[in-house]
Structure 1
């Protein structure tokens, strides 16, 4: 080894080249993945119709719920208020808020179950 300094600079040069190649490869991979995700994220017309149907059933069910239960559920699940904030806002106890959230969640789970069962029957 005639010049350790020259060897060090040559090694550093090769490391920079390899890092540049790696960064380019990662960038190309990320771009490819984002294009695939964008392509795969577009639901088919059938999926859109099924989602619309589910949404309509949920909205109809929410409208048929008792007003207090619906308000508590929407404040908790949609707007992200805490139980204490909802209790204070609606002048009820935090345990009443919890009961309303549980009942509304169970009601919505029943709707999801019914729709899922209908989809499975349609697919068969």
Structure 2
């Protein structure tokens, strides 16, 4: 590294990659305001790493579950549990995001029965 050259902040690229990955999983709700707060943090969150800044912004949101998923938690949780640690989230931050910051659709009784029957059929084979 050349003396006098400041390191390049990769937060914007990190955020863009995370947002694209979440959208590919059907999880939406990241806004331009959230992006701005994570990429260009204020004094209170400047010392935090980007994943902690993001969680702080989601926690501060007036909406109980600022992110929403288009698919059921059972269908997405494994991929999300793989993505978040690779994106720099700790195990506790991953749990916080999955359990308390994403609104998952509820499975109706018909879908639950269909999945239950399907899993029982797979065991019998």
* Alignment TM-score, normalising by the size of structure 1: 0.23
Larger strand fraction of residues: 2
RCO (CA 8 Å, sep 6+): is it higher in 1 or 2? Answer: 2
Larger helix fraction of residues: 1
